[in-house]
Structure 1
Amino acid sequence: MSQAFRLPEILEIARAEGKVTVEGLAERLGVTVQTIRRDLSELADTGRLERVHGGAVLPSSVSNIGYEERRNLNDAGKAAIARACAREIPEGASVFLNIGTSTEAVARELLRHRSLMVITNNMNIANILVANKDCEIIVAGGVLRRFDGGLIGNLTINTIEQFKFDLAVIGCSALDEDGDLLDFDIQEVGVSQTIIARSRKTYLVADHSKLKRSAPARIASLADVDAFFTDQPLPDRLEARCREWGVDVHIAD
C-alpha cells in the first residue's frame, strides 16, 4: 500500500479508535514500523495527528487522553524548553509552578538549583522537587484533580493570594493566533489568573503543538507575560505581536 493510501487509512483508524500505535498500524497495514513512524511524523508535521509515545492521537482528543500519555507528547521539545527556562531562573528565587506536563519538566531541571522556594498547585511537581534538599516546597491547598495531580478551586486561590513570588512559570492548553492563552477548566483558569497577578515576572512554557489547538476559556494574553519559551519559531503575526508587547521569545534547541 502506497503512502497516498496509507495516510487517509491511518487517519480513519485514529478517528474511530482515538489513538493509533506504531506496531498496531504496521501489522494492520502490512508495512514496517519504520514506515509507520515516517507516516506518523508527516501527519504530525501537518497538524493532523499528535505524536505520543508508541503512536499518535487526534489533536482534538489531546485533552481527553490520559495524563501519562500527555507527558509523552513531544517530550523532547518539552525537555528542551524546560532547560532553556531553568537557565533563566536564578538561585535563591521564589517561584510558582502551575499544573501541566511542561511545568513538570521545568521542575526536573531545577533539581540542582539552590536556595529555592517553590510554591505549586501541582502534586507531581512537589514530588519531583522532594529530591532537591535545598528547595523549600509549599503546596497550595485545594480540590485535588485526581487525573493530573492538580489542585484547583477557591482554597487554592486563597493560598496563592498570600504570596508575592519573584516569578511564575505557567503552561496552557492552547495558544491562539491573537496571543491568548487558553484552557479547558474554568476553575484552573481562575487559579492561573491569580498566579499571574501575584508574580513579579511570568514565564510561559508551551511547545509548538499548543498553537494547533483550541480551548474555550481565556487565561490571559501573551502581553501579560514577560518571556515565552517554546520549541519552534512562531508564526509571523504572533512573533510581531510579541515584539510589540515586549515579550522575550526563547526558541529552545
Structure 2
Amino acid sequence: MARLRSEKRRDEIARLAASHGLTSVEQLSARFGVTASTIRRDLALLTTQGKLARTYGGALSLEPHPEATLRQRLGEAHEAKQAIAAWAATQVVPGENVILDGGSTNAALAEEFKDFRDLSVSTIGLTSLEVLADAEDIEVILLGGRLRTVSQSFVGPVTEAALERMSFDRAFMGADGVRADRGICEKDLQQTRLKELMMSRADHVYVLAHGAKLGQAPFHAWAVMPTHWTLVTDDTAPVEQVRIFRAAGVEVVVVETVEEQTGA
C-alpha cells in the first residue's frame, strides 16, 4: 500500500489493533512499507498515549475489539485482496455453481466474475449482489435472511433454510481472523454456524484472508473447518503462520501482491 504520513500511520495501527487484536511488528512493517524500527517507535508513542498495550513483538489494543464495518474493510489491504481474488477466480470454470461469503475480499472476487459466462453465483453479501446485478450471463442468487448492517450480509434461520436445499462446486469464505487450530473467527455464533453450513454444502472450500488475518482471534466465535480446505493469502503473511497452517495439513496458496510505493 502507499506509505502514509507518520500521524496517519499511527492512527491506522491503533485502528488495526482494535479490530484485529495482536499485531506483529513484522506484519505492520510489511503492511506500511517502513522499517521495523519505525514501527517500534510508533508503538512506543501509541503506548505512551495510552492507546495500546505493548506485548512481545507486537501491540494489543486497550479498547474492546469492535467489529469493523464493511465500508471500513473495503479500504483495507486493497492490493492484497485484489491479488487473492484474481487467483481465486482462476479456480472457477464455466458451468460451475459457486457461493460467495460476505466481506470485502469476496466482493473483489465478484468483480472478477463480471465477465464470466455460464456461471451460477449464490451469495449472502449485498456488495457482491450489487457488483453482479448487471452481469447478464451469470445466474445470481441472493440468500436472504436477517441483514447484519455492519457486514452488509445475511444470516439466520431463513438463510440457513435456503442453503440446506442447495449444493456448490466451490465455496469462497471470508474471515475476521483464521487460525490453523481453531478455524475461522467471527463476531457472533450465527455467522460461524452459517459458514459451517456453507462449507458443508461445497465440494471445494477456500478461505480468502490477507496476511494480517492469519493467526488472529479478535472475537470468540469459531467456525470449525472441513477436513480439506485451501487458505488463500498474500505475500505479507508471516512465514511462521504459513508454516503452521501447512503443518496442520491445510493447503496454502500465497499470491504475490504488487503494491504501489510512494514517498513517505
Please list, as runs of the form range in 1=range in 2, the aligned pairs for 1:110-125 lying within 5 A after superposition: 110-125=113-128
Conserved 8 A contact 2:110-2:132: yes
1:220 to 224, 243, 260: 224
Partner of 1:26: none
Partner amino acid, structure 1, of 2:156? G
Q: Give the drift of 1:241.
A: 4.4
Q: 1:66 to 1:198 in 2, by over 3 A?
A: closer
1:178 to 165, 181, 186: 181
Partner of 2:39: 43
Partner of 1:78: 81
Count of residue pairs brought into register by the alignment: 217
1:242 to 240, 246, 253: 246
Please list, as runs of the form range in 1=range in 2, the aligned pairs for 1:84-123 lying within 5 A after superposition: 84-123=87-126
Please give the per-residue CA displacement for 1:187-233, whole angstroms capped at 9, x wherever unaligned.
Answer: 11111010011111111100011125312111023x64432210025
2:129 is paired with a residue whose SS is helix
2:167 to 164, 168, 188: 164
Percent identity of equivalent pairs:
23
Alpha-carbon distance between aligned partners in 2 of 1:145 and 1:132, rounded to the nearest angstrom? 25
1:168 is paired with a residue whose SS is strand
Q: 1:74 to 1:115 in 2, by over 3 A?
A: same
2:147 is paired with a residue whose SS is strand
Partner of 1:206: 209
Conserved 8 A contact 1:229-1:250: yes
Alpha-carbon distance between aligned partners in 1 of 2:43 and 2:134, rounded to the nearest angstrom? 37
Q: Give the drift of 1:112.
A: 1.3
Q: TM-score, normalised by structure 1?
A: 0.73
Please give the per-residue CA displacement for 1:70-125, whole angstroms capped at 9, x wherever unaligned.
Answer: 11110110000000111111122100001111111111111111111011111111
More displaced 10-residue stretch of structure 1: 159-168 or 63-72: 63-72
Q: 1:149 to 1:121 in 2, by over 3 A?
A: same
Partner amino acid, structure 2, of 1:220? V
Answer 1 or 2: which has greater helix percent: 1
Conserved 8 A contact 2:99-2:168: yes
Q: 1:237 to 1:107 in 2, by over 3 A?
A: closer
Cα RMSD of the aligned pairs, angstroms, is: 3.5
Alpha-carbon distance between aligned partners in 1 of 2:241 and 2:130, rounded to the nearest angstrom? 39
Alpha-carbon distance between aligned partners in 1 of 2:203 and 2:85, rounded to the nearest angstrom? 20
Q: Which runs of no fewer than 5 residues in structure 1 stay unpaired?
A: 1-5, 20-35, 49-57
Alpha-carbon distance between aligned partners in 2 of 1:40 and 1:145, rounded to the nearest angstrom? 37
Partner amino acid, structure 2, of 1:190? R
Alpha-carbon distance between aligned partners in 2 of 1:144 and 1:124, rounded to the nearest angstrom? 12
Please give the per-residue CA displacement for 1:42-76, whole angstroms capped at 9, x wherever unaligned.
Answer: 539x999xxxxxxxxx9857743332121111011
2:165 is paired with a residue whose SS is coil
1:162 is paired with a residue whose SS is coil
